[in-house]
Amino acid sequence: MEPIFTPALHKQRHQFVIDFVKRNRPRKVVDLGCGECSLLKKLKFHREVEVLVGVDIDGAKLKKCMHGLAPIPTDYLQPTYDQLHIELYQGSVTQNDPRLRGFHLVTSIELIEHLTLPDVERFSEVVFGYMIPAEVIISTPNSEYNPLLPGLRGFRHSDHKFEWTRAEFQSWAVKVSSEYGYEVEFTGVGEAPPGQQERVGYCSQIAVFHRLRGRDGCNILFADDAEDLLSYTLLYTVNYPSLHDNNILRRVLVSEVIYWTEKLKRRWREVRTEERDESIVWCQTAAEGDECFRSSECGAEINRLMEHCGRYMAENQEEEVFGTKGQGKQESCRLQRCVSIPLAVLWTSCPKVSALSGNLSNLRHLLTTDPEVKLSQDGSSLLVDLQEQDLEEEGDHDLEDSGYTEVSQCSYSAAQEEDWEPNV
């Protein structure tokens, strides 16, 4: 049994990667030998990562675990600008696949010791010579630590093909670095008991490689892409909801706009009814509106918005009377009332709307194509229907007591007798 590390050793290895990601903010990360995807599941919370890829030879294991990487319900509720795209491949790290080129970070946690030495050779070629990521993290057991693991005979896992000492690992890493143009540092997790660290080193040794030719140089051209075969099988792919998706952006924006306009409308109506009670006809001139909004006590934000809008709101009260004039319209008299809210006001007063749309013309552009909102003809303001919908309030009569409408009578003779009692 391994001595109990706190936190557990595998967690420490993952934490090492996560800390690295937090410091270096790579945007595209691939985990080779991702197994049960536990590292990916942690990395998905670090939204500086935009592309997250996992590769493992065991497709069945991936299939079993892949749904754990799906977005959770709350990811859909308030999407942010962060993007995340996750892909899982079944494939061998000894084979090239063009889809894995151009990553910022490649991690390979406790993987290489499962490969035969010739395969390790091929692995180095694939990772450093073909994928050419900016940074690589490789961890492997440190065999010098093994005597401290009680009850351990042979390797730590039956599938291990080798377990290296620090010197063996470092000589491999240095050789690879000089061959492919990387520099390497060594560290590890799982410290030895006090006083022995120097002698045995970390339980898991880790090498961190940096590509020498500029670390932000993921813009190397991979000219030969077309010739490469796609040797990996794509098992799973998912896009996290993000405001970069125009449909989602529009949906969120329109929701926000409607929320604010509805709030305005309600408030405006309240003010109107108050005024009506005092038998003052409001809105003869739009300028008057300014004052009555200010006097109302409601949230500071909406107050500010109302102030703005009061100045601009113009009530188009048109009474259209269609008599016998024809034109195919049958409504005899329709009261159509609209309030127009200039987009500029909306944009300046609702911080969320402005943050979402970026600029005014973008806001206009996003709103024009949406069927849920109505813009004025020149597209400069939002038309809000003031039609009182609750005029047609028809209560749900289910189980409600009803009043009396009309009286009609029909009576029948009493129901015929039926005897249900079984003969006793």
Partner 1 sequence: MTGRARARSRGRARGQETIAPGASQAREPTPAPVPPTEGELVGRGRQKGTPGPFSAEAVLQISAGFQQVKLGDRGGRRRDFHDAGINTRQAMEHVKDSKTGSSGDVVPLTANFFRILSRPQWVLYQYHVDYKPQMESRRLRSALLFHHEETLGSARSFDGALLFLPHRLQGKETVLHSETKHGEKVQITITLTNELPPSSPVCIQFYNIIFRRILRILNMQQIGRNYYNPNDPLNIPQHRLTIWPGYTTTILQYESAIMLSTDVSHKVLRSETVLDFMINLRQQCGGQRFPDACSKELIGLIVLTKYNNKTYRIDEIAWDHTPKNTFKKGDSDISFKNYYKSQYNLNISDDNQPLLVSHVKRMGPAGAPPPGPAMLIPELCYLTGLTDKMRADFKIMKDLDHHTKLLPDQREDRLTRFVSNIQRNADAQAELDKWGLNFDKMLLKLSGRILPRERIAQGSRSYEYSQAQADWSKEMRGLPLISSPPLNNWYMFYTSRNSNEAQMLLQNINKVSAPLGIRTQRPVMIEYEDYQESLLRLLQQNVGPETQMLKHLMIVGIDCYHDISAGKRSIGALVASLNNSMSRWYSKCVLQHKGQEIMDGLKMALTGALKDYLKFNNCLPSRIIVYRDGVGDGQLHSVVNYEVSQILESIKSMGHDYVPKLSVVVVKKRISTRFFAHFNGKATNPPPGTVVDTEVTRPEWYDFYIVSQAVRQGSVSPTHYNVVYDTSGLKPDHMQRLTYKLCHMYYNWQGIIRVPAPCQYAHKMAFLVGQSIHKEPHSKLEDLLYYL
By CB under 8 A, residue 221 contacts partner 1 = no
By CB under 8 A, residue 6 contacts partner 1 = yes
Other beta carbons within 10 Å of 252: 17
Cα separation, 102 vs 216, in Å, equals 11
Lateral strand order in the sheet of 333-342 = 314-321, 333-342, 381-385, 374-375
By CB under 8 A, residue 10 contacts partner 1 = no
By CB under 8 A, residue 279 contacts partner 1 = no
Q: At what angle do helices 166-180 and 117-124 cross, to 10 degrees?
A: 40
Residue 345, CA atoms < 13 Å, CB-side half-sphere? 21
- Measured from the CB atom, is 319 or 393 closer to partner 1? 393
**Which one of residues 23, 45, 118, 378 is an interface residue with partner 1 (CB under 8 A)?**
45
- Measured from the CB atom, is 216 or 396 closer to partner 1? 396
- Least separation in angstroms between residue 76's CB and partner 1 is 4
By CB under 8 A, residue 50 contacts partner 1 = no
- Measured from the CB atom, is 227 or 393 closer to partner 1? 393
Strand bridging mode 135-141 / 182-189: unpaired
**Which one of residues 156, 210, 272, 304 is an interface residue with partner 1 (CB under 8 A)?**
156
Given the rule CB under 8 A, which of 87-95, 288-296, 335-343, 414-422 is the region that contacts partner 1?
A: 414-422
Query: Contact 78/209 with Cβ under 8 angstroms?
Result: no
Positions in 237-276 near partner 1 (CB under 8 A): 238, 241, 251, 254-259, 262-263
- Least separation in angstroms between residue 57's CB and partner 1 is 13
CA distances for 138 relative to 19, 39, 56, 122, 170, angstroms = 15, 14, 15, 15, 11
Cα separation, 367 vs 373, in Å, equals 7
- Measured from the CB atom, is 18 or 184 closer to partner 1? 18
Given the rule CB under 8 A, which of 75-83, 116-124, 125-133, 140-148 is the region that contacts partner 1?
A: 75-83
Positions in 89-128 near partner 1 (CB under 8 A): none
Residue 211, CA atoms < 13 Å, CB-side half-sphere? 24
By CB under 8 A, residue 154 contacts partner 1 = yes
- Least separation in angstroms between residue 392's CB and partner 1 is 10
Cα separation, 314 vs 287, in Å, equals 10
Region for residue 25 given its phi and psi (left: phi exceeds 0; alpha: psi -120 to 50; beta: otherwise): left
Cα separation, 108 vs 55, in Å, equals 10
- Measured from the CB atom, is 15 or 197 closer to partner 1? 15
- Measured from the CB atom, is 45 or 319 closer to partner 1? 45
**Which one of residues 194, 229, 324, 404 is an interface residue with partner 1 (CB under 8 A)?**
404
| HEC readout, 351-402 | HHHHHHHCCHHHHHHHHHCCCCCEECCCCCEEEEECCCHHHHCCCCCCCCCC
Q: For residue 253, give the nearest of 376, 350, 340 by alpha carbon.
A: 350
**Which one of residues 47, 210, 215, 311 is an interface residue with partner 1 (CB under 8 A)?**
47
- Measured from the CB atom, is 278 or 390 closer to partner 1? 390
Given the rule CB under 8 A, which of 286-294, 321-329, 338-346, 405-413 is the region that contacts partner 1?
A: 405-413
Report how far Cα 165 is from the mean position of its chain's Cα atoms: 43
**Which one of residues 23, 73, 219, 273 is an interface residue with partner 1 (CB under 8 A)?**
73
- Least separation in angstroms between residue 165's CB and partner 1 is 20
- Least separation in angstroms between residue 382's CB and partner 1 is 13
Kindly tell me the burial class for residue 261, based on how many C-beta atoms sit within 10 Å of its own C-beta (0-12, 13-18, 19 or more): buried
**Which one of residues 219, 279, 330, 413 is an interface residue with partner 1 (CB under 8 A)?**
413
Backbone angles phi, psi at 347, to 5 degrees: -65, -40
Region for residue 125 given its phi and psi (left: phi exceeds 0; alpha: psi -120 to 50; beta: otherwise): alpha
What does the per-residue mask of binding to partner 1 show for 359-378, with x meaning CB under 8 A? --------------------
> Which residues of the shown chain bind partner 1 in the complex (CB under 8 A)?
1, 6-7, 22, 45-47, 60, 67, 70-74, 76-78, 151-158, 238, 241, 251, 254-259, 262-263, 299, 390, 393, 396-402, 404-415, 417-422
